[in-house]
Structure 1
Amino acid sequence: MVLTHLNERGEANMVDVSEKTPTVRQAHAQAVIKMSTEAFALLTQGNHKKGDVFAIARIAGIQAAKKCSDLIPLCHPLMLSKVQVDFEVDQTSSSVKVLTMCKLTGQTGVEMEALTAASVAALTIYDMCKAVDKHMQIVDTKVIAKSGGKSGDWQLS
């Protein structure tokens, strides 16, 4: 396998996608944040002193996807047509699963944008809840599906 972000001399290299055919591309990612039952109750009941944590985390995730190329070296700036950030709460484990989807018609995939959105949304939840629980953990961050492009569709089993 060839690492495409390195040139023939082993130097960092932004991949040239100018010859690729634009296709509709979509990626789904997730991150999970585990917290104490106290922090989880404040978050899910909407009683947090800092306000609507989910609303702020959703906006942060969307903004992060749009800024991905500013944060991750060698990522292409993309014209995203859709960014979605959703949350699944799990009472049993006092955790929140952040689910993201990024979509565009373009010449390169949107996996990094979906991962960045999930990561920053989870980090925002952490930031807003850390006064209540300093031991929260962000885990299981991964791409769960992608579609479009030369490599086609893929889904985590």
Structure 2
Amino acid sequence: MTRVAAGSEASGAGLSHIDSTGAARMVDVGGKSRTDRRAVAGGTFRTTTEVIGLLSDGKLPKGDVLATARIAGIMAAKRTDELIPLCHQLALSSVEVEFAIADDHIDVTATVGTSGQTGVEMEALTAVAVAGLTLHDMVKAVDRRASMDGVRLLEKTGGKSGSWRRE
């Protein structure tokens, strides 16, 4: 196994979750300023036009698919620190999970906010991923080939590095 020390050339500008010996560590954010932070993530749930029709007509066997997926995404954002190693526990001020329905897919978007010392990118990404997995669980009886893909950060604001937006 190769270890990369923080700040070494192999790690570019340095990996904040790696100490000088190459061991994983949780970043100390105690000295950072509290700022308003927001992150938006997205992903695409792919299924069939037939499933989209059943969903739109409220005829899927497991009930209100979008409401269930929305709640799952919100709950996941709130518990990201329990799912992703080295993530900080955050007091989230807002979590929104939205769905845009198309002919053969659903675009999932999560927007997460906090006022704190570290960002909420992982919380937004986790919300999208879990909402998509929940959609899969809700439709698997009628479409086993459904998939969730393209989970990615779309934008973030706040913190020392400021704002960023995917082009």
Q: What TM-score does the superposition give when structure 1 sets the normalisation length?
A: 0.97
Query: Displaced runs of 4+ in structure 1, greater than 2 A?
Result: none
Q: Among the aligned pairs, what percent are the same residue?
A: 48
Unaligned residue ranges in structure 2 (runs of 5+): 1-12
| Aligned-residue offset at 1:140 | 1.0
Q: Write the distance in 1 (CA, Å) between the matches of 2:102 and 2:51.
A: 13
Alpha-carbon distance in 2 for matches of 1:135, 1:124: 14
Give the equivalent residue in structure 2 for 1:103: 113
The alignment status of 1:86 with 2:98, answered yes or no, reads yes
Return the letter of the residue paired with 2:29: V
Q: What is the Cα deviation at residue 44 of structure 1?
A: 2.0
Q: Over the residues paired in the alignment, what is the CA RMSD in angstroms?
A: 0.6
Deviates more, 1:57-66 or 1:44-53: 44-53
Query: For 1:70-149, what aligned pairs fall within 5 Å after superposition?
Result: 70-91=82-103, 94-149=104-159
Q: Aligned letter for 1:87?
A: F
2:30 pairs with 18, 32, 36, which one?
18
Q: Distance in 2 between matches of 1:147 and 1:119?
A: 21
Partner SS for 1:81? strand
- Matched-pair contact (CA < 8 Å) for 1:26–1:102: yes
Decide whether the 8 Å contact of 1:39 with 1:132 is kept in 2.
Answer: yes
Query: What's the CA shift string for 1:123-144, capped at 9, x where partnerless?
Result: 0000010010000121111000
Larger radius of gyration: 2
> What is the one-letter code of the residue matched to 1:147?
T
Equivalent pair of 1:38/1:132 in contact (CA under 8 Å): no
Structure 2 letter corresponding to 1:31? G
Task: Please give the TM-score of this superposition, normalised by the length of structure 2.
Answer: 0.91
2:118 is paired with a residue whose SS is coil
Q: 1:84 aligns to what SS in structure 2? A: strand
Query: What is the number of residues matched between the two proteins?
Result: 155
Distance apart, 1:67 and its partner CA: 0.4
Using the TM superposition, give the Cα deviation of residue 47 of structure 1 relative to its aligned residue in structure 2, in angstroms: 1.3
